Amino acid sequence: MRVIYGWTLFSIAIVGFMVGGVFFAFLLGGACFMAGKEYIAIARAKGIKPSVRVILGMMMAFFVVAALPAIPGLNLSWNFSLEHFPIVLTVGMCFAFFRLLFRNEHPPATMADIATTILGFIYVGWMPAHLVLLRNICPPGFEKETNPLLQPGVAYVWASLFIVWATDVFAYYVGKKFGKHLLFPQISPKKTIEGAIGGLIAAVIFASLVVYLSDYWLFPNHPFRYNLWQAPLMGAVVSVACQLGDLCESLLKRDAGLKDSGSIIPGHGGFLDRGDSLIFGGAISYYWICLVVLGLL
């Protein structure tokens, strides 16, 4: 059952990012909306009361801004969203403080309420919205491609998803079969060093394969610019980010005394359980592509 639902989620993600545009932003935003509700439940289990409206509202704001360049007729540059993210983040922080300042409850809001509110829309909004930015990339020197399957963003998100998938799947199965040394027992009692290494190696291999296929076989615009030496480095860096992201979500759950963030996905827990690696991996992938592959930022 776990494998069936895992492949189903993976297939939906593949279709979403290949179609791209507003559809991908809507699909990913919907998943993050559910993850946001799970994050709020984790905070409440800890006895903290963040603002639900601010977290979910700002999360949606990030995805709306991220999707704007993909809307036909607006003629916005691909980096419009990144340039305006700081504004959205600033407004969100102000709203978090002001909403909790005037919340009509006794006792009044605490520092923890404010902190978890801000962390919430950064964690489930700002960070994962980078995948939409990554899908919409159309850097200088690349002709604007109307066929969504040939847009460079497809190759970049494809590489990111395969790194995340390879890390999660191989870390799980290698750890289950060969794991003997615990990685971080205080936070996650089942993760092993052997599993982490297996996930890392698999990520490096899949990153190299995806980059090679993208540049030499699938995309005529050569999105990775034939810099194949960068592929294993990207796989390693993003894989480490994925595994740390997984541990960070485990830290939140353990602090709240929960095993899973939810139970909506049979065999996998909640949306936050399934997307914890992608939250960090997607954002790191975006900046890796911009800084290392394209040299834009």
Q: For 25-58, what is each residue's pLDDT tens digit? A: 999 999 999 999 999 999 999 999 999 999 999 9
State the pLDDT confidence band at 268, using cuts at 50, 70 and 90.
low
pLDDT digits (tens, 9 = 90+) for 207-226: 999 999 999 999 999 999 99
Residue 10 has pLDDT above 90, yes or no: no
DSSP per-residue letters across the chain:
-HHHHHHHHHHHHHHHHHH-HHHHHHHHHHHHHHHHHHHHHHHHHTT----HHHHHHHHHHHHHHHHGGGSTTS---TTHHHHHHHHHHHHHHHHHHHHHHT---SSPP-HHHHHHHHHHHIIIIITTTHHHHHHT---TTSPPPSSGGGSHHHHHHHHHHHHHHHHHHHHHHHHHHH--SEEETTTEEEEEHHHHHHHHHHHHHHHHHHHHHIIIII-TT-TTTT-TTHHHHHHHHHHHHHHHHHHHHHHHHHHHT-S-S-SSBTTTB-HHHHHHHHHHHHHHHHHHIIIIIS---
Q: Can you give the pLDDT at residue 1? A: 64
Q: Which residues contact 71 (CB under 8 A, 6 or more apart)?
A: 21, 22
**Which residues partner with 188 through β-bridges?**
184
Residue 14 is predicted with a pLDDT of 86
Q: What is the pLDDT of residues 132-174, one digit of tens each?
A: 999 999 888 888 888 888 999 999 999 999 999 999 999 999 9
Q: Is the pLDDT of residue 266 over 70?
A: no
For residues 194-202, give the mean pLDDT.
98
> Cα–Cα distance between 74 and 70 in angstroms, integer?
8
Compute the distance between CA of residue 177 and CA of residue 66 in angstroms, rounded to an integer: 41
Kindly state the percentage of the chain with pLDDT values over 90.
Answer: 80
Higher pLDDT, 204 or 3: 204
Residue 297, pLDDT above cutoff 80 = no
pLDDT at 142: 84
CB-neighbour burial class of residue 59 (10 A; exposed 0-12, middle 13-18, buried 19+) = buried
Predicted confidence (pLDDT) at residue 267 exceeds the cutoff of 70: no
Residue-wise pLDDT for 109-134, tens only, equals: 999 999 999 999 999 999 999 999 99
Domain boundaries, the chain: 2-293
pTM (2 decimals)? 0.95
How much is the average pLDDT of 249-267? 86
| % of residues, the chain, pLDDT over 70 | 97
Q: What mean pLDDT do residues 6-32 have?
A: 90
Q: Between 263 and 140, whose confidence is greater?
A: 140
- 39: how many CB neighbours lie within 10 A of its CB? 28
- Which residue has better confidence, 252 or 146? 252
Compute the average pLDDT of residues 192-221. Answer: 97
C-alpha–C-alpha distance, residues 191 and 170, integer Å: 12
> In the prediction, which pLDDT does 265 show?
73
Place of tokens 């592509």: 289
What per-residue confidence (pLDDT) applies to 130? 97
Mean pLDDT value across the chain = 93
The stretch 87-94 carries a mean pLDDT of 97
